[in-house]
Amino acid sequence: MYGAEMKKIEMFFLLCSAVLFLCGCGEMQRLEKPKPVCVSGLSKSQAMAIAEEVLGQMHFVVAKADVERGILKSRPLPGAQFFEFWRDDVSGDYQTAESNIHTTRRIVELKMFEQGQKVCIACDVKVERLSISELDIENRRHGEHGFEKFSDRQSSSKANLELKGLAGSNKEWIPLGGDSRLEGLILRRLEARIGNH
């Protein structure tokens, strides 16, 4: 009995150590922002269609596509978890650990512009983390059971509906900056796809 409890404690300690190792004690390493990809023999509308295809393959859904202004913007995509091995929108140890510990999301914005005889594509990825206030967490944790203890079932469910309606107002997405690794990956895929065009 004692040996089984010690094994559980050891496994818990090893798991905590692994998470701390992945997260690190310092800040995320800042990489240099990748340069835009410039290609000749391609129109802005063709570049937009290829960019939309590449983002779709990476599970991003396009929210806005303006060919005249050369802007393609995705909807927020929640960060991949460790078991979603087929996804590659989260790369690097820090980003992977953060995505598995917190609720994060990424928004991709591609800008197409003409430079001489070439069309250039610049990539900007914004990362955000979900923040829920302590009041909201406490309401979610104790709200449903607390009302059932002191009232009958019918008034309890009405109170829970009101509580759930208030809960959404205590959430916000905190901007964490850019993701140079993902920007580089998207631009490399665009360049490869345009090369095969």
What digits encode the pLDDT tens for the residues 123-172?
Answer: 999 998 888 865 555 555 555 444 444 444 444 444 444 445 545 457 88
Rounded-to-integer distance, Cα 141 and Cα 149, Å: 14
Structure confidence at residue 69 (pLDDT): 92
Structure confidence at residue 131 (pLDDT): 86
97 vs 141 pLDDT, higher one: 97
Q: Reduced to 3 DSSP states, what percent helix, strand and coil does the chain have, rounded to the nearest 5?
A: 50, 25, 25
Rounded-to-integer distance, Cα 26 and Cα 24, Å: 6
119 vs 81 pLDDT, higher one: 119
Helix (H, G, I), strand (E, B) or coil at 152: coil
Distances 81 to 31, 71, 89, 96, 102 between C-alpha atoms, Å = 22, 29, 10, 8, 10
List pLDDT tens digits, range 33-58: 899 999 988 889 999 999 999 999 98
CATH number for the domain running over 31-130+174-195: 3.30.530.50
